[in-house]
Structure 1
Amino acid sequence: MTAIKFLKRPNSGLARGALGLFALSAAALALWQAPALSAEEAVKIPPPAIDEKASSGTETAVLAGGCFWGVQGVFQHVDGVSDAVSGYTGGAKDDAEYETVGTGRTGHAESVKITYDPAKVTYGKLLQIYFSVAHNPTELNYQGPDYGTQYRSTIFAANDEQKKIAEAYIAQLGKGRLFGEPIVTTIETGKTFYPAEAYHQDFLTLNPTYPYIVYNDLPKVAALKRLFPNLYRDKPVLVMAQNKS
């Protein structure tokens, strides 16, 4: 069973055909209990000591922490988030394409652009979820079975305030030694986000029996519900629903 952790995620060709093959394993996967599948254990951590003020309107945050399927899936279940889009950040526009990013030579990281209401969930609270359940911030240039700089742990700060909050929170968590290993999350500024291909959007919701999702990502959503019950929303906000509206 452990070998399922290392199944390679599909490229565009596989995404068009291999999902049906992997779906054959759904019956076997159903025998497992989701809480026992966590490839990256959630960590209960305190909120940031420094945060933005709750205000009306919308803000955006761009976060990278391994495969964007799971990161997107987590934040789509956060109350106050109105949109969460998988994409690429850190490199050039011409290189913002899955197979090219997968070479690890583009400077891009698989990332998620989150649109949120600061009156309901602040930037600092998003970072708390990011560090706690969305990924493991102690893994340098990899997350679980995925290796390469495209899977790095990075906060793409949109402005000086976001950068200040992120820096302070990383220092706070590092001082508290809550993870057992040093936090390797970096902060990058001045980078452009490019949306990923349509077949990557809403992947967790659309493919709940896909082995990679079952093993690596569904436990993250379960951890969000357990650790952040006041922010958890059962019905995710989906990209496809946004496009249809």
Structure 2
Amino acid sequence: MDRIELIQKIFQKTEFENYLEIGCQTGKSFLPIRAKNKTAVDPVFKIPLGRRFKWLFKWPANSKARYFTLESDVFFDSQKAYLQNLEQLDVVLVDGLHNFRGALHDVLHSLVYLSNDGIIILHDCYPPHEAASIYADIFPTEEQQQQAKGWTGEWCGDVWKSMAYLLEKYPNLLDVGVIDTDYGLGYVRFKTAPTSREFSVDEELFDKINQLSYSDMKSDPKKIINLQPASYCETILSLY
């Protein structure tokens, strides 16, 4: 089960209405999702016109989708009124910058607005090999690709570190893990209703987690990112 199928099944099983996707760009995962209210965030949209028309025909509610051509940090900072007007986010897909800090910021910002039974899905949380896990701001340069042993063009970055951080920082508040499918689907849910909606980066913990290597994670993925088998998608769905 990939991220599109998992997210769609969550919407099918619930009365959720509000979907936010961070890192939409080509619309490949955004347009097929059948949700009432859809919001896409990306600094550079590259959605083919044919794809827009195809999914507008299949899901007319796409005509009301909102697109914000912004970096995600800027979106959350400048669009607070818009987000408050939605009242809550039900499902969020984080698939923007493939690095630890970027993914972590996106999760923490989303938690401010996430409904108590909502869910955040993160793509690229279990790189298939070390070359796919190298750090880059946007995409590995040609030099980085050449230096990365076993480079195949697949790139997940170090998004997985955001899951390790959340597991250690919020063990009682958040249900966090990674499902071994679709390059690793991270999930973040509230275990209990939060008493505060203020979230910020613990820089000391960030630095600690940032010292972990890909080989560290692969030595014990169950402990470090709470890796679950692909079948765990059904467990997630059973919660709704």
Q: TM-score, normalised by structure 1?
A: 0.28
- Which structure has more relative contact order (CA 8 Å, sep 6+)? It is 1
Q: TM-score, normalised by structure 2?
A: 0.28
